[in-house]
A = this chain, B = another copy of it.
């Protein structure tokens, strides 16, 4: 896709991981200005990104912390590295972390990297796949019984990437805190999309993703926490050279000295006025998503949106078996759907997928949603699938 096309919004991108990351025009301009290697380091006087005043990166850290009602924040090389850092720091406290079974794959791998075992909280299975929040209590007890120690943390995925289900964060927070365990909430699909704050979640750690949901260029993640945890997680280096005595007490330990995501952060800053406003209009986005679901579920006999009903997020995982059966006979098979949509300037459905179709309607205009529905109906017609 050429820049002119993107700029003119001639094409529609439905990719669930991309809708919230599309840059604002301001962010695009900033990216050009600060694209060169280390350009954001021009006026770094203290050797750490979060202490740079020109451009005002330091102030922006405070702005995001306040926006989230948290005490301190750092920007990481993507949400996955925020997870890696927290798990690593907390891993001294024990061997298990409790996670929802809808957690992103990076949650499992971040735990693995920290030498932790995961204890999963089950979901309800097909077709809702709803995490059973009350089972967090049981799983804490299970860990205690099996290992003799408490889990290092309770982790929940605010909205998961597979079904777009919204978890009841406060309910899980209560269970965590009643057991004196810190609560980590992964808001990769919600921070920058819907209102998120400490008060609305009771989380000890709020994680976000700039390139997924805050109109920022990749890679950048958000790691926000409370004063209770900030000093433990945002530690400084203590190593000393045995011959030279060199030491780096002002450098950040877990980020290997400095986070390096200045260019990305500048795009986030440029987009933030837009992001701050757009989260307030989430109800409108939900209406659009539900409208889209109703229309797409009319394709053939069995089309349905997996996950909870009614939808509470714009990320939607459709199960459309008729597409699968009909395209199996077509040239390109699974790729038929991708190619059909691409010809009509709709992108983002995973190439090769014909049955499990994951999309995200976030930020689409009503007219664009109607256009996508029209094209999906045309595809159904082409495949001789009735609109019910």
Contacts and interface: CB of A to CB of B under 8 A. Distances in A.
A2 interface: yes
A241 B107 CA distance: 11
A110 B219 CA distance: 20
A84 B256 contact: yes
A1 B251 contact: no
A319 B263 CA distance: 31
A289 interface: no
Given A36-B23, A251-B109, A118 B17 contact: no
Given A81-B256, A219-B260, A239 B36 contact: no
Interface in A354-385: none
A108 B248 contact: yes
Nearest to A250: B105
Interface residues on A, range: 35 or more
A369 to B, nearest CB: 20
Nearest to A39: B18
A291 B246 CA distance: 32
A18 B39 CA distance: 7
A80 interface: yes
A253 B113 contact: yes
Given A31-B35, A101-B243, A237 B112 contact: yes
A92 to B, nearest CB: 12
Contacts of A22: 36-37
B109 A256 contact: yes
Interface stretch (A40-48, A57-65, A163-171, A322-330): A40-48
A105 B31 contact: no
Contacts of A350: 45
A36 to B, nearest CB: 5
Interface stretch (A209-217, A275-283, A297-305, A306-314): A209-217
A262 interface: yes
Contact of A17 (B28, B41, B119, B210): B41
A42 B15 contact: yes
A343 B141 CA distance: 66
A332 to B, nearest CB: 14
A91 to B, nearest CB: 12
Contact of A217 (B35, B109, B243): B35
A151 interface: no
B108 A237 contact: yes
Contacts of A36: 6, 18, 21-23, 217
A244 interface: yes
A181 interface: no
A242 B106 contact: no
A8 interface: no
Contacts of A15: 38, 41-42
A41 B18 contact: yes
Contacts of A35: 23, 27-28, 31, 217, 267
11 contacts: A31-B32, A37-B211, A37-B215, A45-B350, A77-B219, A101-B244, A101-B246, A109-B239, A113-B256, A120-B243, A219-B261
10 closest A-B pairs (Cβ-Cβ)? Answer: A21-B37, A37-B211, A112-B239, A120-B243, A80-B256, A219-B260, A77-B77, A101-B244, A3-B32, A105-B248
Given A15-B41, A27-B35, A77-B77, 4 more contacts: A23-B37, A105-B251, A109-B248, A120-B243
